[in-house]
Structure 1
Amino acid sequence: METKLEETPADLEDSFSPSSEEIESWMQKAFDMAKEALESGEVPVGCLMVYNSEILGKGRNEVNETKNATRHAEMVALDQVLEWCHQENRDPIEVFKRTVLYVTVEPCIMCAGALRLLNIPLVVYGCRNERFGGCGSVLNIPADELACSGAPFKCVSGFRADEAVEMLKAFYKQENPNAPKPRTRKD
């Protein structure tokens, strides 16, 4: 599938227009994180948050292992960036305004909302998330006019989408050890 630039309004500087080589390099690392998630029995989503060509946060889904439905890859990475800002005495608002997210699957509505509130300018992702996607598949959080909700952001979609879909298929073919045990009815 060809990489497609979504038509979303945002005033991005040249530093937020990564080259195809940069995208390939960062996305490879995100796919490595997704593979880690799959090997750990998690939905295979991996991501990186890159600021000034440095990875400040990286995450993979941790929902099953933490039994916390909000521990999506993006939220794990966001927490790491916030911790970095605290340790380095940096203003998170200024850091997030210059941070690019690379993620293997379109962020869900929750994650897209968080990205917008933090004024992330650019998200590069692999495949669409037809059930929960917040970057155009279900809702278009980056571009919609939303009161008091941060700045719109741009999305580059479709990067290695087929590979991301295959990883998702591999996950859904396996047993979920965290699924509730079915109850049998006694008549």
Structure 2
Amino acid sequence: MSIYNERFIREALKVAQEAYDQKEVPVGCVFVKDNQEILAHGRNKPNETCNATRHAEIEAIDEILRDHPIEVFQSTDLYVTVEPCVMCASALRQIGIRQVYFGCGNDKFGGNGSVFDIHSDPRLSNKTSQSYPSQGGFLYEEAVMLLRKFYVRENTNAPVPKKKTRRILKTDVPALSPHLTPS
């Protein structure tokens, strides 16, 4: 049985701060076995690794799987500062995570209820993908403030934006192709 413990979401916030310090989107997580043992910490590393899939959850999952069988996740909870994205929510289903506790929602890519219900959608259940419970709002303000601090500073890893000079608003709209016209 899973029981929320604030100590672990605080630990995830420390890891998120490390991501912030490395100029990554500040998301941090810890995977906790049997409500007591931290199996792994993870933080976002897409900029560091030049791989957009290296989210905090994926980093920690890979670390755990180096030393443990996949069945360990059946008695493991995830504490993460930001709601898992669609990709991570799907990965969590596939590994059989027991429970997810998160700080703030992810209103752009959330897979645990903010945008999509990947974590609980019964249409996605099969032998290798079972739903899992998820709760948010734990140390919400701290998680939000870390994200705000990140997004107000200059992102040195972002591509140089193209200047919007010589752009003209086209007002003519071409006719819809006949095969696309509703009948």
TM-score normalised by structure 1 residue count: 0.82
1:160 maps to a residue whose letter is L
Q: CA deviation at 1:147?
A: 4.3
Pairs within 5 Å for 1:144-159: 144-145=121-122, 146-148=124-126, 150-159=129-138
Relative to structure 1, is the Cα distance of residues 182 and 51 closer, same or farther in structure 2, using a 3 angstrom cutoff? same
TM-score normalised by structure 2 residue count: 0.84
Relative to structure 1, is the Cα distance of residues 185 and 150 closer, same or farther in structure 2, using a 3 angstrom cutoff? closer
Match of 1:63 in 2: 46
Question: For each residue in 1:10-35, what CA deviation from the matched residue of structure 2 results, as whole angstroms up to 9, or x when unmatched?
Answer: xxxx2x123xxxx2111111000001
Question: For each residue in 1:102-129, what CA deviation from the matched residue of structure 2 results, as whole angstroms up to 9, or x when unmatched?
Answer: 0000000000000001110100000000
- For 2:163 and 2:10, locate their aligned partners in 1 and report how far apart those are by CA, in whole Å: 45
Give yes or no for contact 2:26–2:150 (8 Å, CA) kept in 1: yes
- For 1:32 and 1:182, locate their aligned partners in 2 and report how far apart those are by CA, in whole Å: 32
Counterpart among 139, 143, 166 of residue 164 in structure 1: 143
Count residues in correspondence. 163
Q: CA deviation at 1:182?
A: 3.7
Question: For each residue in 1:71-108, what CA deviation from the matched residue of structure 2 results, as whole angstroms up to 9, or x when unmatched?
Answer: 000000001110121xxxxx32x201111000000000
Give yes or no for contact 2:89–2:118 (8 Å, CA) kept in 1: yes
Q: SS where residue 41 of structure 1 aligns?
A: coil
Larger radius of gyration: 2
Percent of aligned pairs sharing the same letter:
47
Match of 1:5 in 2: none
1:179 maps to a residue whose letter is A
- For 1:51 and 1:183, locate their aligned partners in 2 and report how far apart those are by CA, in whole Å: 47
Give yes or no for contact 2:112–2:118 (8 Å, CA) kept in 1: yes
Match of 1:177 in 2: 156
Q: Is 1:126 equivalent to 2:112 in the alignment? A: no
2:61 maps to a residue whose letter is L
Structure 1, unaligned runs of 5 or more: 1-13, 86-90
1:74 maps to a residue whose letter is E
Match of 1:8 in 2: none
Match of 2:7 in 1: 25
Match of 1:6 in 2: none
Match of 1:108 in 2: 85
Relative to structure 1, is the Cα distance of residues 173 and 95 closer, same or farther in structure 2, using a 3 angstrom cutoff? same
- For 2:51 and 2:153, locate their aligned partners in 1 and report how far apart those are by CA, in whole Å: 21
Give yes or no for contact 1:120–1:153 (8 Å, CA) kept in 2: yes
